[in-house]
Amino acid sequence: MTTPPEAPRDATAPLLETRRLCRNFGALAAARDIDFRMYAGARHALIGPNGAGKTTFVNLLSGRIRPSAGRVLLKGTDITRVAQAERVKLGIARTFQINQLFRGLTVLENVYLAVAERLGAAPSMLRPAGRRRDVVEESMHLLDTLKLADDAGHRVSELPYGRQRLVELAVTLGLTPQVLLLDEPAAGVPSAESHIILAAIAALPRHIAVLIIDHDMDLVFRFAERITVMVGGTVFASGSPREIGADPDVRAVYLGQAHRG
């Protein structure tokens, strides 16, 4: 099912691109020949049934796992072999589907760790961490924008799960990424609190290209300007929300089951 080549948004190379990206775990082909393009300032959504290989694709983009074949390019340069730590420096950051936070540390310390890594403050051994005003300042700003300011002093483990998901987002934003990979940002969040997360995502600055992976169709169709559908480890369809919404095959394979009244 090859999709028609999209008209390139503009002349420059796409911000993030994969060419025939594959990854197999033994016999299972978790990712098969994925061609994917994402442009600066994109609001891109990746949807697909469970086991479609979405999280594997995010791990391939973020560098947590290495592809079996194919290439990953950032602004045209090949970063397939570049390790995760380096990709973060190049501006590719991701959140985790299941929270991966520093549970024993306070919310401020969690964000502090990300900001300190980015600003190169981490290796300094002799100055007190709290005295790095630049890092603390930026961290507090971030917490303000995500309305986590009054939780700053609490330990992550003491927060309700919904607010912990916000901290997950805050830590990743601390890396001021060019490409932000959001793996089911609202997963596990009670619907009463999910609006805070949606608001935070909506408020993300335009210059960040955001790829969101989720099942929540309301979120996807309200947020995304482009949608890619993955089935069985490969790209099944790609296009604007309107095209994807109207595409009968997509509806049959995926939206049909998930489309709620």
Partner 1 sequence: MTPAPPSGVLNRPAALVLAGRHRIRLWETVPWTLAIALYVAFPKYLAFGTELLITILFALSLDLVLGYAGIVTLGHAAFFGAGAYTVGILAKQGLWSEPITGLLLAAAMAAAVGLGSGLVLLRTRGLTLLMLTLCTMALLEEAANLAHVYTGGFDGLDSVPITPLFGRFEFNPLYPTTQYLYVLAVLFACFAFVRTLVYSPFGQSLTGIRENLLRMRAVGAPVRTRLVLCYTLSAAIAGIAGGIWAQANAYVNLGTLGLDRAATVLIILALGGHGRLYGAFIGAAAYMSLSHFLSKVYPTGWQLGLGLLLVVIALFANNGILGVVETLAHTLRRRRTGTPASPPGLR
Q: Under rule CB under 8 A, which residues in 23-52 are in contact with partner 1? A: none
Secondary structure of the chain: what % helix, strand, coil (to 5)? 40, 25, 40
> In this structure, what DSSP letter does residue 155 have?
B
| Footprint on residues 135-194 left by partner 1 (CB under 8 A) | 135-137, 140-142, 144-145, 149, 152-155, 158, 171, 174-175
**Helix (H) / strand (E) containing 72:** strand 69-74
d(C-alpha 8, C-alpha 38), whole Å: 10
Q: Does 8 bind partner 1 (CB under 8 A)?
A: no
Binding pattern for the stretch 89-128 against partner 1, x by CB under 8 A and - elsewhere: x---xx-x---xxxxxxxxxx--xxx-xxx--xxxxxxxx
- DSSP letter for 255, please: I
Element containing residue 88 per DSSP (H, E): helix 84-89
Contact set for partner 1, span 234-253 (CB under 8 A): none
User: What is the smallest separation between the CB atom of 125 and partner 1, expressed in angstroms?
Assistant: 4
CA–CA distance, 86 with 219 (Å, rounded to integer): 31
57 binds partner 1 (CB under 8 A): no
Nearest to partner 1 of 8, 205 (CB atom) = 205
Closest CB 200 distance from partner 1, rounded Å: 12
Q: What Å distances lie between residue 49 and 53, 55, 233, CA to CA?
A: 9, 12, 10
Site residues (vs partner 1, CB under 8 A): 62, 64, 84-89, 93-94, 96, 100-109, 112-114, 116-118, 121-133, 135-137, 140-142, 144-145, 149, 152-155, 158, 171, 174-175, 205
